[in-house]
Amino acid sequence: MENNEQLNQLRHSAAHLLAAAVLKHYPEAKPTIGPAIDNGFYYDFDFGDVKVSDADLEKIEATMHELVKDWKAFERHEVSKDEAINEFFHNEYKQELINEFSGEDKQLTIYQSGEFRDLCRGGHVENPANELQHFKLLSVAGAYWRGDEHNKMLTRIYGTAFETKEALEEYLTMQEEAKKRDHKILGPQFDLFTFSEKVGGGLPLWTPKGTLLRNLLDDFVQKLRKDRGYMKVEIPHITKKDLYETSGHWDKFADELFRIDTREGHHFAMKPMNCPHHTQIFDRRPHSYREMPQRYANTTMVYRDEQSGELSGLSRVRSITQDDAHVFCREEQVKSEALAIWDIIEEFYSSCGFPELKVRLSLHDPNQFNNYLGTREVWQHAENQLREIIHERGVDFYEAEGEAAFYGPKIDFMSYDSLGREWQVATIQIDRNMPERFDLNCINEDGDKERVVMIHAAIM
C-alpha cells in the first residue's frame, strides 16, 4: 500500500461514503467490509437477487457527492458486543465480524458520519465534507466473502480517491493508458496465450507464437547461465510429503500447496518451488571442495493453490514458469557467486531495454520471527552478507522488513513499466537454512564435512 497514512485514511473514508450511497439506492443491500487498498478502495456488498453493474456506478457516485456535503466528521461510538449484534441484526456478515473481534467484555467501535453507521476500527479524515472531494468509482467485480470460494459470491465495487483534483485526473489518465497495454488484452490479440474454463482459472495455455516468444527469452537466459558455469537439470512436478516436511514448505506453505493423495494412501504435492528438489540432486553423492560450487539451472513450472477471486491474467496464476537456479557453494564463495548472478541480471535486463534496476534488500520481520526458519544469528549473518555485496556493487538501495522469503533474506531487483508501475523482476537469496535441514555438505581440504551455503537465483 502507498506509504501515505493520510491518503489511506482518505480512501478508507471514501469506502464508508460508498456504502452509504449504495444503501440510498439499494436499502436491502448488506455491506460487509470496505478497506483502503493500493491505489484506491473497495466495498463488498450482498445485493441478494439484485444485479449491480458498471452502468450503476454513475448514479452511486453522484449520490456520494451529495451525501458528503453533510459529513462534518466521523463520530466514534464504543458499543458492547450485544449492542453491536442488535444494531446489525439483519446483516450476518457484520455479525460474523462482531463475534470475531469481540473478546470477553471487549468494546467494539462504530463510526458514524451523516446517517451512516458502520462497524470499524477507525482511520478516517477529520472533515470529510472538506477533504473527501476527489474520488471516482471504477468498476464492479465479484468477490467471495473473505476470499473463500466456499463462501457466497458478493459484489465488489472498486473506487479511488486522491487529495487533489490533479492527482485524481493523472491517475485516471494513467489507467486509460494501462488499458491499452493490458496483457490480458494484448495476449489474445497477438495470439500469445489463452485460458480455458475446462482447464481451470489461473492455468494459462501458450499458443505456438507465445511458446516461441517464451523460448527465445529462456534460451537467452540459459546462454547467460551456461557462460558462467551453470548446468541444466530437470525435476518432476510432484513430490512426496517427506521432502516438504524436511524443507519446511509443508508447514510454512501449507495454504498454497496442491495436495495429492494416491490410491495407495501416500501423500504427495505439486511443487510450489524447485529448491527442495535441487537439494536432492546435490545430495546424490559426496562433493569434494574441488567441485565447488555446483550450479544448477532449471526452467520449469511451479504450482500455487491461489484462491479463485485473486486470479488475474498472468499476474496472479496457479501455474507459474520459473527460470530457477541454485548455487551450492562454500562460505568464501558466496560473495563472488552472488556478484556473478548480479552480472547475469544486469546483462539480461539491459538487453531487454531495462538499463536501470532499483535494488531492495528484503529482510525478515523481527517482530514475526516465528514465520521464518532458522535462528536470528543465521539471519543476521545472511542479511549483513547481502549488505556487503550491495555495497561492493556501489549502488543505491533501500531496505524492506518483512519482504524476505521464509528461509532467507534476498536482494530484489525492481523495475518500472511504461506506466511507472513498479515490479519485482529478479532476485538473489542467501539460504543457510535449507542446507542445514537437508544436511548438505562438501568434503573440505582436511577430509572433513563442511556445511555448504545455498544461493537462490531467479532472473525472469
* Per-residue pLDDT tens digits for 428-444: 999 999 999 999 999 99
Burial class (CB in 10 A: 0-12, 13-18, 19+), 12: buried
Look up the CATH architecture of domain 5-178: 2-Layer Sandwich (3.30)
Distance CA 321, CA 335 (A): 27
Q: Which of 287, 304, 360, 437 is catalytic?
A: 304
Q: Is 263 considered catalytic here?
A: no
| Amino acid at the residue 404 | A
- 326 labelled catalytic: yes
For the chain, how many residues are written?
A: 460
- Cα gap 193→189, rounded to integer Å: 9
Which of 322, 380, 385, 424 is labelled catalytic? 322
Domain ranges of the chain: 5-178, 193-458
Known catalytic residue at 120:
no
Compute the distance between CA of residue 332 and CA of residue 337 in angstroms, rounded to an integer: 10
Mean pLDDT of 164-177: 93
Could you tell me whether strands 231-232 and 294-303 are parallel, antiparallel, or unpaired per DSSP bridges?
parallel
Q: Which helix (H) or strand (E) holds 406?
A: none
Marked catalytic residue, from 30, 136, 275, 412: 275
Q: Alpha helix locations (H) across 322-366?
A: 334-351
User: How many other CB atoms are found less than 10 A from the CB of residue 16?
Assistant: 27
Are the CB atoms for 44 and 20 separated by under 8 Å? no
Active site residue 322: yes
The Cα–Cα gap between 381 and 369 comes to 15
Of the residues 134, 360, 437, 456, only one is catalytic, namely: 456
Q: Where are the alpha helices (DSSP H) in 145-207?
A: 165-180, 183-189
> Residue 211: which H helix or E strand, with range?
helix 208-226
The percentage of the chain sitting over the pLDDT mark of 70, rounded to a whole number, equals: 99
Is there a catalytic annotation at residue 266?
Answer: no
d(CA 327, CA 337): 8
The helix (H) or strand (E) run that includes residue 430 is: strand 422-431
- Tell me the average pLDDT across 334-363: 95
Query: Could you confirm whether 69 is annotated as catalytic?
Result: no
* pLDDT bracket for residue 104 (50, 70, 90): low
CATH number 3.40.50.970 given to 193-458 = no
- Lowest pLDDT segment from 126-135, 261-270, 310-319, 331-340: 310-319
